[in-house]
Structure 1
Amino acid sequence: MALLLLPFWVAAQKPLDEVARIKADDNYIWGEGRSTTDSKATQSALNDLISKISVTVQSETSLDMQQINDGDKIDSKSAMEAVIKTYAAGSLTNTKSIFVSHEPDAYVVRYIHKDELEKIFQEREDRILSYVYTAQNAEREGRIDDALRNYYWGFCLLKSLQHPNAVKLEQDGVKHTLTVWIPEQINLLLGNIKTEVAKIDGNVIDLLITYKGKPVTSLDFRFMDGQNYSNINSAKDGLSQIELNPATPTDKLQLKYEYEFLGQMRQDRELEMVMDVFNGTPFPKATVMVNGGSKKEMKQVQQLYQAAVEGMSQVQHATAVESPNFYVATIDKVVKAIRSKAYSSVKDLFTEEGYDMFNRLISYGTATILGKPELHFYQLNGRVICRSVPMKFAFKNNNRSFVEDVTFTFGANQLIESIAFGLDKAARDDIFNREAAGWSDSVRMVIATFLENYKTAFALKRADYIKSIFDDDAIIIVGHVIRKAQKTAENEKYLDNEVVKHTRYSKQEYIKNVERSFKSNQFINIRFTDNDVKKMGVGEDTYGIQIHQDYYSSSYADTGYLFLMVDLNDPDLPCIKVRTWQPKRDPNINGNFDKSDRYYGLIYGGNF
């Protein structure tokens, strides 16, 4: 019997020897946990490790207790432990585990080399700088919501570093201390936003929102509706509309520009934990009073508002229709039908599929038309595209409203066969104003139309269309940020980490998931920005499109980069060969593919 037990004793002795070695080596910090289950023992070991790390770094860390939630009620040691725990959700990925024994008498040791501690803080500092660079790029494109969000999130993480005041950003030869510079940038952004009343119709108010005198590409805000702050409203290309409660005065409006984005922050466990530890930072400039204005003032603003409406519909490097009178009359009838809610009166202006899309459009929240549409008509392969009718969509049971400029496509029979939500001005300019050799006007229009149809298909829940544009053998990789589940394998090294999970699906599996999402969400809205389009090394008109995607639904929101490799040789039958997602812009698209994939090597860092 003793001989039979010997192999088990030897197996147990090896982990114990390793634990003894780790504990005897001052270069390591370790924690241990015992419990009736592996998962509880692992968590206990992590907590013990975090406690010891906090003791190690506390003397070298500049922790402002006034920034800590309930900082007057807890000691600095507890505060330091809370800060270190925020790294366990994301950056604390270089700890290792030793399972000495398993449940029901589980004993686990987790440890980290002291040299790795610096890497933990450096990774978070790199992430903060990434937020700053993203914010700067967003500001240049007028995406003020993205700029405010990234600056604020970076500032939140900055508080959790060992030496937040030591983090610098060098620009134009000047080094800026981020703890001072980021709040300055947020205040500058807020100070350069101007909201003006363009029109008052009862309790409905049209707003023109500009940044440094130009219509904002995008901005989120709330307004005081007479009793409380409203749900989130959006402005797109300078246009927005709000509806006050009846009898609410319209001569003075109180708005609060969104900068925290707490709802989206909850999708990021690391950020969420940091916000639970530290106090939020108020920015009084985010709250503004907007005067209703005199009739003369509103008339001037209305002219600027109409100019913004026209800017939504104009594009360069596109072939305009010379005599659009017929199409103008058709869209005028559609606009009138939407305003009067006499939708069926224009059924004969659509194809069967087009009218189905129209019904989906008017069912997409409460739809209202903004301003007087300035229509422009462009040719595309025997079709005519109308750009565009600005509309607002509100959802009573949810906390979002969206502004979209709606485009209409006429077929050869002069009936409306397709409806889409247009790209915002910055995204359109990336395509239509890009200097790209060999890009004809029609190529630009095909790419823009494809992206608009793609994002609209999700908004209008057109599963059949999505199914039709994916190749039967498409490479489809879906990514989302998750908190990694604990595992009990002895060789598991990284536990409790927030990671990006990439799942590869067949076309059939992907479409089933899309259909399931459509059924479970009241609304879905996708916004594309910061697109980068390259011609690929296969097919005459096959393109790689890497584009920043903000995804909103009634149950979930995220932001990241979508990559599509699409065959546009037949504009009527676009065919997606590759679809991937990742949270950050990464030129190494190939990292998502096996070398056996037929597209490996066609997508590489030199393209993006």
Structure 2
Amino acid sequence: MNLSLALSAQVKTAVQFGNADNSALQQVIAHNLSALLTEMNTAFVDQRDIRWENIDASEAARNRISTLWNTSRFRCTEALLKENLLRTPGGQFQIRHIPLQLEKEATEEAVITINEQGHIEDLYFGIEQHQYRRLMADGRDLTDFHRRQMILDFLENFRTAYNRQDLELLEQTFSENALIIVGRVINVKPDSPDMMASLGQQKVELIRYNKSQYIDNLKKVFNRNRFIDVRFDNIDIIRHGARKEIYGVNLRQQWRSSTYGDEGYLFLMIDFEDQTRPMVHVRSWQPEKHTTREDVIELGDFDIIK
């Protein structure tokens, strides 16, 4: 079947909530979500930009979604989307696990946030449903549960910021004194004259950057790449024993771009002292191929003095 004919068979996406209460607000939210998803589907088929005239979304949401759209168009694959409407710790609403088809046959699960008036505030790429449920189930208490909800939301925004090459958001994410550690594979030539030994060995050199250096490097990466696709899996969240506002997040990162690709271990130390603005104090990346699990940087490797 011709691709364009197949896609045109499903353009409209209706939205229902599994926890529907038939309130006027929920009806407004469902209508606004359906309008956005249907317009995305239509624009995907027509290979054009999203038209915002009939979509109730904030100006910031329109800009972020349009920027993401310019890196790779996407459509919802469901004619009827039925998911629970969730409440976030910040008082907004959220709908998760929205199946998206991207160009080049890639797939994603999207998250859309909506404010208390029913206006769309953001769309970003989420983590897979089974990971989200596992991580939320590990919450020790109500505070830890809410922090985990915020961490996963933070990670999803953090990841999507790379995909849409949002340098401003990433710069706001790191504290002014943030430590960024990047593992670089180098070749080491041994002293032995043995023929096999002369081929050399590889090891990982850890390079430290401050925030300014890292952002400058990232700007160059964005400038030379038409697209960037960052994905997270194998996520683990640890709360610091003494400093309850500090969390360590270890995960596996897959990076694909128009010029480069790699896989490695990412660590983030996130501070929730100001819950309205979580800050990253440490970001480290180590190449998976040349890093043992024992050598992966984690929260316990740092003495926290505040």
Question: Does structure 1 residue 326 correspond to structure 2 residue 28?
Answer: yes
TM-aligned CA distance change 1:554 to 1:326, over 3 Å? same
Match of 1:390 in 2: 99
TM-aligned CA distance change 1:348 to 1:445, over 3 Å? same
Match of 1:505 in 2: 209
Distance, in Å, in 2 between the alignment partners of 1:498 and 1:407 is 40
TM-aligned CA distance change 1:510 to 1:541, over 3 Å? same
Distance, in Å, in 2 between the alignment partners of 1:327 and 1:378 is 12
**What are the equivalent positions in structure 2 for 1:160-171 lying under 5 Å apart?**
none
Match of 1:579 among 283, 286, 291: 283
Long gaps (5+) in structure 1: 1-200, 207-240, 242-309, 315-319, 396-400, 594-598, 604-608
Question: What is the CA distance between 1:321 and its match in structure 2?
Answer: 7.8
Paired residue type of 1:455: R
Match of 1:349 in 2: 56
Match of 1:12 in 2: none
Greater displacement, 405-414 / 323-332: 405-414
TM-aligned CA distance change 1:539 to 1:601, over 3 Å? closer
TM-aligned CA distance change 1:494 to 1:600, over 3 Å? farther
Q: Provide TM-score, normalisation by structure 2.
A: 0.79
Question: What is the CA distance between 1:347 and its match in structure 2?
Answer: 7.0
Distance, in Å, in 2 between the alignment partners of 1:346 and 1:388 is 26
Paired residue type of 1:520: R
Question: What is the CA distance between 1:391 and its match in structure 2?
Answer: 1.4
Match of 2:10 in 1: none
| 1:263-311 CA-partner distances (Å, limit 9, x unpaired) | xxxxxxxxxxxxxxxxxxxxxxxxxxxxxxxxxxxxxxxxxxxxxxx9x
Match of 1:408 in 2: 112
**Aligned 8 A contact 1:347 1:355 in 2:** no
Greater share of strand: 2
**What are the equivalent positions in structure 2 for 1:74-473 lying under 5 Å apart?**
202-203=2-3, 322=21, 323=23, 324-341=26-43, 343-346=50-53, 349-372=56-79, 373-380=81-88, 381-395=90-104, 401-434=105-138, 436-437=140-141, 440-473=144-177
Question: What is the CA distance between 1:540 and its match in structure 2?
Answer: 3.3
Question: What is the CA distance between 1:575 and its match in structure 2?
Answer: 0.1
SS of corresponding position for 1:563:
strand
TM-aligned CA distance change 1:498 to 1:426, over 3 Å? farther
Greater share of helix: 1
Long gaps (5+) in structure 2: 8-15, 44-48, 192-196
SS of corresponding position for 2:85:
strand
Match of 2:178 in 1: 474
TM-aligned CA distance change 1:499 to 1:352, over 3 Å? same
Aligned residue pairs total: 280
Paired residue type of 1:542: I
Higher relative contact order (CA 8 A, sep 6+): 2
**Aligned 8 A contact 1:383 1:409 in 2:** yes
Q: Provide TM-score, normalisation by structure 1.
A: 0.42
Distance, in Å, in 1 between the alignment partners of 2:37 and 2:299 is 45
Larger radius of gyration: 1
TM-aligned CA distance change 1:343 to 1:591, over 3 Å? closer
Question: What is the CA distance between 1:415 and its match in structure 2?
Answer: 2.5
TM-aligned CA distance change 1:571 to 1:403, over 3 Å? farther
SS of corresponding position for 1:427:
helix
TM-aligned CA distance change 1:585 to 1:466, over 3 Å? farther
| 1:418-467 CA-partner distances (Å, limit 9, x unpaired) | 22101012321331222534555422321210111111010011110000
Question: Does structure 1 residue 519 correspond to structure 2 residue 223?
Answer: yes
Distance, in Å, in 2 between the alignment partners of 1:392 and 1:329 is 21
Paired residue type of 1:382: G
